[in-house]
Amino acid sequence: MGKYAGEAKELLELVGGRENIAAVSHCMTRMRFVLNDPKKADIEKIEAMKVVKGSFTQTGQFQVIIGNTVADFYNDFIAVAGIEGVSNEAVKKAAKQNQNVLQRMVTALVEIFAPLIPAIITGGLILGFRNCIDSLYLFENGTKTLCDISQFWSGVDSFLWLIGEAVFHMLPVGICWSVTKKMGTTQMLGIVLGLTLVSGQLLNAYSVAETAAADIPVWDFGFFQVNMIGYQAQVIPAVLAAFTLVYLEKFFRKITPQVVSMIVVPFCSLLLAVIAAHFVLGPIGWRIGSAISSVVYAGITGSFRVIFGAVFGFVYAPLVITGLHHMSNAIDLQLIADYGGTMLWPMIALSNIAQGSAVLGMIILQKKSAQAQEVNVPACISCYLGVTEPAIFGVNLKHVFPFVCGMIGSACAAILCVAMGVTANAIGVGGLPGILSIQPAYMISFAICMVVAVGVSCGLTIVVGRKKLTAEETGQVPVAELAEIAAGAGASAAAGVVASIERNRENAAKAGSGKESGQSAGKVLKAFLTGQVIDLKEVGDGVFSEGIMGEGLAIIPENNILYAPADAQVSVLMQESRHACGLTLDDGVEILLHVGIDTVAMNGDGFEYLIEEGQKVAAGTPLIRFDREKIRAAGHPDTTVCIITEPADAKNIRFLTGRKAEAAVTVVAEYE
């Protein structure tokens, strides 16, 4: 019997027994279940187990947090349950049985567009910059642009279009590649299919509207003709064509003898997919996309546009929580293709600004609470720069009322936005820099909308917060007042409260004076990466950031090798995913180093272990080599966390965040 046989048997019963488990695997810290009937799991009793640190359900998976010993627990569990474990990819596929049709569609869209988002944002910023230099008439009494008066900037403008055209006109190539990558078929065939949709032999999609029907080129097959129309920037035709290629390839793989499959499968799959794309799917997809964009466009520009703006602005932030907001990417891109711009994306940017402004209100309310500001300030900055998760999950949802105030501010700004017809050339950064993606004629209007989003969200948060927040939460209760509050529970309680606070102040003063004199705690952890050191709460993971696994910190990396922060023994490795490792320090402290967030889904692609399990390592020893580009392309943050999963006898642990660190040199944690 294994060490965790008893607990494993108990967990098996609490998840509904062997017959309720469709699939099970584990990552570095969690058991990942796909349950046939999730309602049979007794979550309350599961979380009461000593070995369990928490649980949650995500994308159809019921995940039970065990910690560094999850590998041993998993082995005992599958032995007790009498079932075979599967890979995380298999669990991910099995989890779809617990998703409804809409959730599956959203998941598919997310997985298709996630690798494309960095390029789309880059293209949006470039188009925004080009707007500033070739469309803003700021010189010679408002008659000329910067490009008109400067040959250098005219050259820059022309050169940058090379990138802008590649991103947006050639978008179907990226979509076809992404679909084949997601579905596990031949990616090069996807790229070729995408190229046939945007070939220079075809009439450019942007020229179709202004070309007479008689002048549209055709393929003449004698008894029928097909229009030679390109699908530049079109989303739905590319998606339909790509999925057709995927299923054709799978079909021919199944029926073709292995000896001729290298010839028959790609030839038949690609030829039939291209024929279907141009003869049937392209025209149908174009009409579907046009219909969707027409409905949205009508909502944004029609008689009820103010109501549309109010509703969209109010509900967008909740959509972010559910993941449904990813569907807007496809709609935005279709609007850009059909109307030369999108009026949807400006409202998305304003929603992000509104949530950041709600955090700004919390910063003002909690200006005397140093602990709260450690989370508030970086969350606000990141939200204003387009990354909303730290603000939404780390601050606003925690208190609820800032989230609602942000929704109201977003709705107000969205009403003004659609009323003034603000239009963006492309998807950009969803925060303050988003103004660069706005068409020049609407930049001032969008700036006004930003002021409304900031003012309403921040102002409402302050007004409501003054009634909702306690004095302790705002950090405005001095020791004397706390003594009076505690006195209500008796003199001894009052004395205890005051004494405790005074001790904390004395300890903080001692720690500060020691630091100033160059002294530090007895033991240290050095930076495991080069980069910016941040508080764990800023990670926004929901497991690590909430401290469920233990205290720690994170680093946003600038290099691609993870180093040991102290002398230790390698205690845990994940041979399948290779994205994390567990170390046991010489003093018994156990730590977990986890590269990226949710990178277990990459199944080891882009990760290489440089050590072996049981190996003794010194501080500064290379542990893992990882590919930051692959992590980002897979849609995951590369933020790397260090968690103290077992503090042993460590006392007075201090994490030195908010600084730039050099790997194996800078001290990032101290303890006694």
The CA distance from 585 to 524, in Å, is 11
Burial class (CB in 10 A: 0-12, 13-18, 19+), 598: middle
The CA distance from 577 to 92, in Å, is 14
Neighbours of 320 (CB within 10 A): 20
Which residues, at least 6 apart from 410, have a Cβ–Cβ distance to it below 8 Å? 313, 314, 316, 317, 347, 350, 351, 354, 355, 453, 457
The CA distance from 309 to 311, in Å, is 6
Structure tokens at 75: 């082995």
Cβ atoms 62, 35 nearer than 8 A: yes
Return phi, psi of residue 448, to 5°: -65, -40
Size (the chain), residues? 672
The CA distance from 450 to 349, in Å, is 9
Furthest C-alpha separation in the chain: 101
Structure tokens at 109: 């869209």
Instruction: Identify the helix (H) or strand (E) that includes residue 218.
Output: strand 218-220
Cβ atoms 135, 147 nearer than 8 A: no
Structure tokens at 54: 């928490």
Catalytic residue among 27, 147, 176, 642: 27
Active-site residue, 642 included:
no
Cβ atoms 594, 636 nearer than 8 A: no
Looking at the DSSP bridge assignments, the partners of residue 655 are 669
Handedness of CA 66, 68, 73, 78 (dihedral sign): positive
Query: Which DSSP string corresponds to 22-42?
Result: EEEEE-SSEEEEEESSGGGS-
Return phi, psi of residue 575, to 5°: -65, -25
| Residue 586: C-alpha distances to residues 50, 123, 348 (Å) | 26, 50, 50
| Residue 326: C-alpha distances to residues 83, 347, 496, 503 (Å) | 36, 14, 52, 49
Structure tokens at 320: 């972010």
Cβ atoms 114, 121 nearer than 8 A: no
Among the listed residues 547, 545, 532, 530, the one whose alpha carbon sits nearest the alpha carbon of residue 656: 532
Looking at the DSSP bridge assignments, the partners of residue 553 are 535, 642
Which residues, at least 6 apart from 432, have a Cβ–Cβ distance to it below 8 Å? 353, 384, 385, 450
Q: SS3 letters for 511-527?
A: HHHHHHCCCCCCEEEEC
Cβ atoms 344, 300 nearer than 8 A: yes
Q: Which residues are catalytic, by number?
A: 27
